[in-house]
Amino acid sequence: EMSDRLNKPCYVFEKNDESRFLKEIRLEREVFKSVTEEQFILHYQPIVNQNQNRIVGFEALLRWDHPEFGMIPPNEFIPLLESTGLIVQVGYQTIKKACQQIKTWEQNGFNDIKMHVNLSVRQLFSEELVLQLENILAKEKINPKRLTIEITESMIMEDSDHFINMLDEIRKLGIEVSIDDFGTGYSALSYLTRLNVDSIKIDQSFVQQVGCGDKGDAVIKSIISLARHLDLNVIAEGVEEERHISFLLENECSEMQGFYFSKPLTEYEANQYLFTYHQKVSGNH
Ligand code: C2E
Ligand code: MG
Ligand code: MG
Ligand code: MG
């Protein structure tokens, strides 16, 4: 083929770089359209209590269902949503969908399932956030305790006074707050004495070091113990192996999330997971 021959030098040298670059440009151009065409969807990853043998909740994880590139992971497009300011609108849609899902599960008899939603720094700086949350709770009529928002340590460091106030406002609505990727924010722990939160999520990098050396083990044990002393609930992320589970249970961390239990699921798959898990557990009695 003529065109094949013409394309060849390009293919040999830098096709991957070029196509990645072109993809980035395309995404940047299409991101506005994607919002109006509602190409953003949520996947849900279960969070289990391995001691009580039950599903505590799900974390809602955003995906861009692109007509040509397929499912695009958040790390590739969240920065784009942030820089264009679209994150405020997409974030609103995300919280709304997540709350509607809580309600649907409730209608199916699963009425103690929590939903975790990630917030980005731009959303926390948005004047509208508290009002948006208030509106959604009122409209969907769900118990605010069922909703947890996740923020990262590095976000808090940017302007701690602002965040302390913001998080207090959010918690006044009854919504819970969790610190995501805990331990990776290079932060001084002093913020923990000023900030009111409900839980922390131990970053997967700590969990994956379990059993790889005494130092790693000591760090994760200390995080769990710190959480307990601060009266915070603790969830371990990135649980992939049996040995992670036994270590966590020995150290009294029973809430876990990770590929060992399930990858993030579509809405349909999450429903299946709920029903199957429920049947399995009630079958034990
Ligand atoms: P995150 O909140 O820390 O989410 C956990 C990420 O770890 C997810 O990647 C999940 O698929 C992955 N993960 C879960 N279990 C395992 C495991 O056992 N092993 C490994 N290696 N990975 C695991 P995902 O879905 O690509 O999300 C990446 C990040 O994107 C999230 O990190 C979160 O910071 C951000 N994000 C996702 N959804 C949203 C959203 O709606 N809004 C905002 N602002 N950020 C979001
Ligand atoms: Mg998260
Ligand atoms: Mg995390
Ligand atoms: Mg993360």
- Is 50 exceeded by the pLDDT of residue 283? yes
Task: Please tell me which residue, 28 or 109, carries the higher pLDDT value.
Answer: 109
Res 247: pLDDT: 97
Strand partners, 60: 44, 117
- Tokens representing residue 234 in the block: 């603790």
The answer to whether the CB of 164 falls within 8 A of the CB of 195 is yes
Q: Which residues have C-beta under 5 Å from ligand 2, the single-atom ion?
A: 118, 150, 180
CA distance linking residue 150 with residue 60, whole number of Å: 10
Q: Look over the chain and give the mean of its residue pLDDT values, rounded to a whole number.
A: 89
- Show Cβ contacts of residue 158 under 8 Å, excluding neighbours closer than 6 positions: 121
CA distance linking residue 13 with residue 15, whole number of Å: 6
**Cα(50) to centroid(ligand 3), Å:** 19
Ligand 1: nearest atom to the Cα of 264: 11
Please choose, from the candidates 178, 165, 106, 87, the residue with its C-alpha nearest in 3D space to the C-alpha of residue 130: 165
Res 4: pLDDT: 52
**Cα(44) to centroid(ligand 3), Å:** 14
- Is 90 exceeded by the pLDDT of residue 2? no
62 lines ligand 1 (CB under 6 A): yes
∠ CA(48), CA(169), CA(237), 5° rounding?
Answer: 20
- Tokens representing residue 179 in the block: 């610190």
Q: Measured in whole angstroms, how far is the alpha carbon of residue 177 from the centre of its chain?
A: 12
96 lines ligand 1 (CB under 6 A): no
Prediction ipTM score: 0.97
Task: Please tell me which residue, 49 or 32, carries the higher pLDDT value.
Answer: 49
* Three-state secondary structure readout of the chain: CHHHHHHHHHHHHHHHHHHHHHHHHHHHHHHHHHHHCCCEEEEEEEEEECCCCEEEEEEEEEEEEECCCEEECHHHHHHHHHHHCCHHHHHHHHHHHHHHHHHHHHHCCCCCCEEEEECCHHHHHCCCHHHHHHHHHHHHCCCHHHEEEEEEHHHHHHCHHHHHHHHHHHHHCCCEEEEEEECCCCCCCCHHHHCCCCEEEECHHHHCCCCCCHHHHHHHHHHHHHHHHCCCEEEECCCCCHHHHHHHHHCCCCEECCCCCCCCECHHHHHHHHHHHHHHHHHCC
What are the pLDDT digits (tens) for 91-142?
999 999 999 999 999 999 999 999 999 999 889 888 889 999 999 999 999 9
Cβ-based burial of 257 (10 A; exposed 0-12, middle 13-18, buried ≥19): buried
What are the pLDDT digits (tens) for 204-256?
999 999 989 999 999 999 999 999 999 999 999 999 999 999 999 999 999 99
pLDDT, average across residues 60-81: 94
User: From its phi and psi, is residue 179 left (phi > 0), alpha (psi between -120 and 50) or beta?
Assistant: beta
Nearest ligand, CA of residue 178?
2
The answer to whether the CB of 241 falls within 8 A of the CB of 259 is no
Res 53: pLDDT: 92
Give the position of tokens 């130092």.
Answer: 215
The answer to whether the CB of 58 falls within 8 A of the CB of 270 is yes
- Is 50 exceeded by the pLDDT of residue 72? yes
CA distance linking residue 30 with residue 239, whole number of Å: 35
**Cα(201) to centroid(ligand 4), Å:** 10
pTM of the predicted protein model: 0.91
